Structure 1
Amino acid sequence: MKKHWAFVLPLLVLGCGPEDSNGDGIADGILKPDSVSVVAPATPKGTVSGQVLDTRLAPLSGAEVKLLIGSDASGQFTTQTDAAGNFMFSNVPAGSSVLVTASKGGYATLRASAQVPSSAGNIPINNGNASLGAILLAETGSSVSFTLLTPSGHPAANARAYLEATPAGALAFNTTDATATSSVIATPVVANEMGIVTFTNVPAPAELARIGGVEAAAGGYRLFVDPVDINGDGIIDAAGYDNKFDASTLLTTGSSQLVRLALPNNGTAGTFGLTATNLASLQSADKRPSRNLLRDGEPIFLAFNQPVARDSLLAILTDEAGREQIDVTVTPNATGDVYSLTPAAGRVLEGQEYNLIVRATSAYSGAVFSKKGFFVRGDVKSPRPLSLVSVTFKDNNVTGNTTGVLDAGECVILTFNQTVVPTTTLLEVTLSGGPEVLNFKTVAPAPYPAPATNPCFTGESTKFPIEPGFDATTRFYFAYGAAGTAGPPSINPTTTTANVRMEFTKFQPLDLSSYYETAWGSPVAATTILEKQMARP
């Protein structure tokens, strides 16, 4: 028996092929190929399938289904659904990403992405299937309408509107991690004279409602409306619109919806005022000249949160005293909510303060905006040092005083080359000259913005209702002794040379808040000394 089996076994081994003593699947002595995968190569394949239905779950035969494998256009294949709405793509490489597009005339188009399973391994059997399940397409044979009104209740005639019906398709019962998108974007339309826009060839509300979903995912219509100028005057009468209407809402309330467009506010709704301006004094409590510098030739910009009624913006520009008006050119933008004010060339001098009065009426509510402000002409990049331009005095015509002569009790007026922000710190001023070697000293000359209420300037008044509350001014004054006393002697500038010397040495050097400030925001140093000869007024 042993000899018999010993004889048969070699025959069986020979019949099975080369010997594989180590059991690695490769015949002994074979160097190449040296792996099982090379000896038995495999290209695993899979399938992509699904069923195309309408929203009532009825099969859609003859629907076109396209398959794109990866991102290569050469990997695109097309088929059509059978009578039951089924389709299948075979020999799809396992593990590949695919894009499936399902479409049919009169229905929405749906695009779905999926991954073909690759879990079957390297054995070339019928690999896994990427099943998209039921693909639902909404019918696009209906229409929806919207009536557009402006905030004032007028029909928004000529408003251009857009509509997107979404989602207009869905996946159901799929067994893969597929995602889908489907929407119908209607042809843009223009509202008629009654403000009505009608979109055709879109899914009916019942179609989208059947697709299901809740809240943001619910089937519905997203309406977009451009801002509209209904009367062609260049002023936008209503803001744009962007909102979604659930299909179930249109189904229960009717397919025509009333839409009231909002006011095109650039700021807080319900108020009318400035949103932005390059003149801080018109918008904030910051009245420092350095925050209100305006370069030579630079316009003043006013941006309102609502359009201004045509020709309703009034701008009055005056000198610091509010007595002389300066021409200003008013230019609106195309939509009537931004204006530029350009002072007349050569009328605005460096370092000097100018008052601005602005009045405007809202094109929407009729509300009136009125504001007073000021600016100083100067380039922030080129600050100017402080200097005295003139020293004069004011005759008060008191009995016993001589006209043209500085008498006791009268005021000496100091005019600088730019506006100055005063402080309470003591500033020493010396008036000297004449054969008597006059040496009259005073401290803290007071700012003298017009109109002045000081008895020295009883005749001062303004022509325009400017804002008098600005601290900065180019003019200061001090009283030359006390009237009716044996004070300092009278000075006749025609016969006597009288000089005014201003010394800023009274400052506390460590108290940085106690410095006078120029129009450019620069502190007047404690070592500054200004001197000027007094002249007749």
Structure 2
Amino acid sequence: MKKHWAVVLPLLVVGCAPEDKDGDGIADGVRDPDTVSVVAPANPKGTVSGQVLNTRMEPIPGATVKLTIGSATAEKPFETTSDASGNFLLTNVPAGAEVLVTISKEGHATLRASALVPSHAGNIPINNGNANIGAVALAETRSSVSFSLLTPSGYPARGAKAYIEAVPAGTIAFNGGSATAVSSVVVSAEADSMGIVTFSNVPSPAELARIGGVGDAAGGYRLWVDPVDSNGDGILDAGGYAKKIDASTLVVSGGSQMLRLPAPRNDAGDSETTGFQLVATNVPSLNYVKLADGDAGKAAMELQKKPLRNLLRPGEPIYLGFSQPVARESLLALVADEYGREKFDVIVTPSAAGDVYTLMPPSSIREGQEYNVILRATSAYDGTVRTWKGYFISGDARTPRPLQLASAVYKDGTTGTVGTLDPGECIIINFSHVVVPSATLLDAIVTTGEASPPSFNATPAAPPSTNPCFTAESPTKYPIDSANFNTATTRFVFTYSGPAINLTTNTVKVKADFTKFQSADMSTYYESAWGAPVSSGTSLEAPLGKL
């Protein structure tokens, strides 16, 4: 039997990828389109091209074209110039890069366009993709425009610093791709002694009007003017200006226009505030105005005169913010006591701009007491004179003080015995701080220690009072507002109708008794300057003296 030996030799198959030496993305040697093998380029490159024209569609040769991408460096920039036909081409730009193209030429505006260098055609990677930003039109910058700036009072706004932006200073006239462009010319200037500010090297009004669009896209000049202090005294003579002026308007006016700057104000242009006003203060009663019943704002306005809203912490100044600067040395401030008889000196301090002031009351004012404020000021803008009246209570809202009966005195009548409390004579009680009463009258008890002393109804007697007990009271010395700010007071009064009491042989005390409010509605409770209700268990006592 013959034996047959079979030797199996392994077959080694080595696979080689198709080559693409010319980098076109197609395997070398392939001619049949149906058998094309796509090869992804290792480092795909692309180009950026376009054409530089003026706004009359004429070529601009020699324009500098620079590309800004992540790989651009000072040693290896992407830069070229346009040829005689205005065309340019930048090569070896990384495919897929978002590029910023800056095109500039002396005597023309600079335009910046962004584009994306293609790296794929559909799903197929490509090499030598082109980003064509199209025909770029640059406006010429050989013209000038000027504006005459005046302050609200008619004076030249000399030295005013202004800035202008001419838009659009360039356009992409034709672009079939995704490029976008931005072009404007920004120039700064300073007004001369006549208030005339001239901006040179800008596109002419006619050119901007011609290449701009319509509506908000119309060609024109965005103008900004800083607030003006013409004489350097720290008080603004005019507010700033920020507005776009259509180029077509300047074409009609010959490239110049007069602008009256607005009055300076520091209230953010609140449309509800007109003229010279006190727009901000920590004493809101200064802005109180009595409104008619039925007025929608009456309830909110009445809150402005509540004592709690007008608490001024000891050592804290009164802050005053005006809508216009106040003329130097024109602010007069008077602080008087509740009765308008005693005047207190205050320290008046203006801000550098003259629109904010502080008034520092003296340290001698007493906590819980009412002090009236009278102001007079003149607008530095138009000379308007305004006056304001209000009041404040000295006190810190964080530390309410307990109510006390400070004093109780009686007035000898003309018919009774001197030194004796006779029927028909007045008793005046004063609390340690102002009290806001309600329609419910306060009980006042006069006692010599007996078991059932007589009780009387004490009524508030804010000065100046029409109560017969105060017919001999000295009149108010200073013109305080006693009509609108007489709700809260430290003073109450009642007429005694009990038996005669000799004060030389008897110790007489007066009690302010709030216990009747235990059975009353809480809305009738008296209120302290700190906004706290006087407890229904309160009973305050003081010895009776003679006025």
TM category, shorter: 0.7 to 0.9
Contact 2:168 2:212 survives alignment (8 Å): no
Could you tell me the percent identity over the aligned residues?
59
Query: Quick one: structure 1 residues 423 and 19, their matched pair in 2 at CA, closer, same or farther if it must change by over 3 Å?
Result: closer
In structure 2, distance between residues paired with 1:269 and 1:350: 34
- Note if 1:504 corresponds to 2:521: no
- Note if 1:522 corresponds to 2:522: no
Deviation sequence 1:115-154 (CA, Å, 0-9, x none): 1223326767555421111111111122111100111221
User: Counterparts of 1:453-492 in structure 2 under 5 Å?
Assistant: 453-460=466-473, 461-469=475-483, 470-481=486-497, 488-492=498-502
- Note if 1:350 corresponds to 2:354: no
Deviation at residue 495 of structure 1 after TM alignment: 2.4
In structure 1, distance between residues paired with 2:406 and 2:314: 21
Q: SS at the partner of 1:439?
A: coil
Query: Quick one: structure 1 residues 192 and 504, their matched pair in 2 at CA, closer, same or farther if it must change by over 3 Å?
Result: same
Contact 1:516 1:524 survives alignment (8 Å): yes
Deviation sequence 1:448-482 (CA, Å, 0-9, x none): 1111211111022110111113210111111101x
Deviation at residue 381 of structure 1 after TM alignment: 0.9
Query: Quick one: structure 1 residues 122 and 515, their matched pair in 2 at CA, closer, same or farther if it must change by over 3 Å?
Result: closer
Task: Give structure 1 stretches of 5+ with no counterpart.
Answer: 1-16, 21-25, 27-35, 482-487
- Note if 1:247 corresponds to 2:257: no
Deviation at residue 233 of structure 1 after TM alignment: 3.0
Contact 1:44 1:123 survives alignment (8 Å): no
Query: Quick one: structure 1 residues 92 and 535, their matched pair in 2 at CA, closer, same or farther if it must change by over 3 Å?
Result: same
| Cross-structure match for 1:51 | 51
RMSD of Structure 2 on Structure 1 (CA): 2.4
In structure 2, distance between residues paired with 1:502 and 1:123: 98
| Cross-structure match for 1:66 | 66
Q: Paired residue for 2:455, among 441, 455, 460?
A: 441
Contact 2:136 2:174 survives alignment (8 Å): no
| Cross-structure match for 1:30 | none
Deviation at residue 51 of structure 1 after TM alignment: 0.5
- Note if 1:404 corresponds to 2:422: no
> TM-score under structure 1 normalisation?
0.87
Contact 1:70 1:97 survives alignment (8 Å): no
User: Counterparts of 1:230-309 in structure 2 under 5 Å?
Assistant: 230-265=230-265, 266=267, 267=270, 268=272, 270-284=274-288, 285=302, 286-309=304-327
Name the aligned partner's letter for residue 385 of structure 2.
V
Deviation at residue 92 of structure 1 after TM alignment: 2.5
In structure 2, distance between residues paired with 1:489 and 1:18: 133
Deviation sequence 1:150-203 (CA, Å, 0-9, x none): 1122111121111111221111111111111111111x3221121101111222
Q: Paired residue for 1:327, among 345, 349, 355?
A: 345
Contact 1:147 1:257 survives alignment (8 Å): yes
Name the aligned partner's letter for residue 199 of structure 2.
F
- Note if 1:494 corresponds to 2:495: no
Name the aligned partner's letter for residue 375 of structure 2.
V
Name the aligned partner's letter for residue 456 of structure 1.
C
Contact 2:341 2:477 survives alignment (8 Å): yes
Deviation at residue 360 of structure 1 after TM alignment: 1.4
Deviation at residue 391 of structure 1 after TM alignment: 0.9
In structure 1, distance between residues paired with 2:241 and 2:231: 19
Q: SS at the partner of 2:285?
A: helix
Name the aligned partner's letter for residue 309 of structure 1.
A
Task: Give structure 2 stretches of 5+ with no counterpart.
Answer: 1-13, 18-26, 28-36, 289-301
In structure 2, distance between residues paired with 1:512 and 1:329: 42
Name the aligned partner's letter for residue 67 of structure 1.
L
| Cross-structure match for 2:119 | 118
In structure 1, distance between residues paired with 2:424 and 2:123: 113
Q: SS at the partner of 1:272?
A: coil
Q: SS at the partner of 1:534?
A: strand
Contact 1:508 1:514 survives alignment (8 Å): no
In structure 2, distance between residues paired with 1:501 and 1:478: 12
Q: SS at the partner of 1:507?
A: helix
- Note if 1:418 corresponds to 2:422: no
Q: SS at the partner of 1:506?
A: helix
Deviation at residue 42 of structure 1 after TM alignment: 4.8
Q: SS at the partner of 1:535?
A: strand
Contact 2:119 2:125 survives alignment (8 Å): no
Query: Quick one: structure 1 residues 19 and 93, their matched pair in 2 at CA, closer, same or farther if it must change by over 3 Å?
Result: closer
Contact 2:40 2:126 survives alignment (8 Å): no
Q: SS at the partner of 1:373?
A: strand
| Cross-structure match for 1:158 | 159
Deviation sequence 1:2-54 (CA, Å, 0-9, x none): xxxxxxxxxxxxxxx9799xxxxx9xxxxxxxxx87x7655443321100111
Aligned pairs, number: 495
| Cross-structure match for 2:5 | none
Contact 1:425 1:506 survives alignment (8 Å): no
Deviation at residue 416 of structure 1 after TM alignment: 0.8
In structure 2, distance between residues paired with 1:123 and 1:309: 76
Deviation at residue 489 of structure 1 after TM alignment: 2.4
Name the aligned partner's letter for residue 477 of structure 1.
V
Name the aligned partner's letter for residue 374 of structure 2.
I
